[in-house]
């Protein structure tokens, strides 16, 4: 598992953490957009296999991990072969969120635009 510092170093070229009150001020050109992503079939399937005996906080945490990328849940107890999850490790497009962020970064670099992104897991209403 990588540390927070290693993760920050990897994303340093395209991300910036601003701890000021930029959201409380008026910024010209700031657009607020909500994007709702549909999980891939494999992500849906893995979400249905969540382990029994988890409290609500652990279930929410696990669903968030799977939503970001199924491989992040590889160390959890599942009724799915761990090798199947490990195969996804080198495939960023196996998860809709990672693919979206990857494409957004590529587009923002190409257009020389800045993007401010906040993410929140919202459970699907079935």
Over residues 14-33, mean pLDDT: 61
Query: 111 or 92: whose pLDDT is higher?
Result: 111
Identify the H or E element spanning 105. helix 96-111
Q: Mean pLDDT throughout 90-94?
A: 79
Contact 86, 74 (CB under 8 A): yes
**pLDDT of 114 above 70:** yes
Please indicate, yes or no, whether the overall pTM of this predicted structure exceeds 0.85.
no
Mean pLDDT, rounded, for 97-105: 85
**14/98: higher pLDDT:** 98
Q: At what angle do helices 56-68 and 96-111 cross, to 10 degrees?
A: 50
């Amino acid at each position: 598992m990588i540390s927070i510092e290693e993760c920050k170093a990897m994303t340093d070229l395209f991300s910036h953490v601003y701890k000021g009150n930029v959201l409380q001020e008026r910024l010209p050109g700031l657009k607020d957009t909500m994007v709702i992503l549909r999980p891939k079939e494999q992500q849906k399937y893995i979400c249905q296999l969540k382990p029994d005996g988890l409290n609500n906080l652990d279930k929410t945490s696990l669903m968030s991990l799977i939503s970001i990328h199924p491989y992040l849940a590889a160390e959890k107890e599942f009724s799915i072969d761990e090798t199947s999850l490990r195969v996804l490790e080198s495939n960023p497009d196996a998860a809709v969120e990672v693919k979206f962020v990857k494409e957004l970064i590529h587009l923002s670099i190409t257009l020389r635009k800045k993007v401010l992104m906040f993410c929140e897991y919202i459970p699907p209403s079935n």
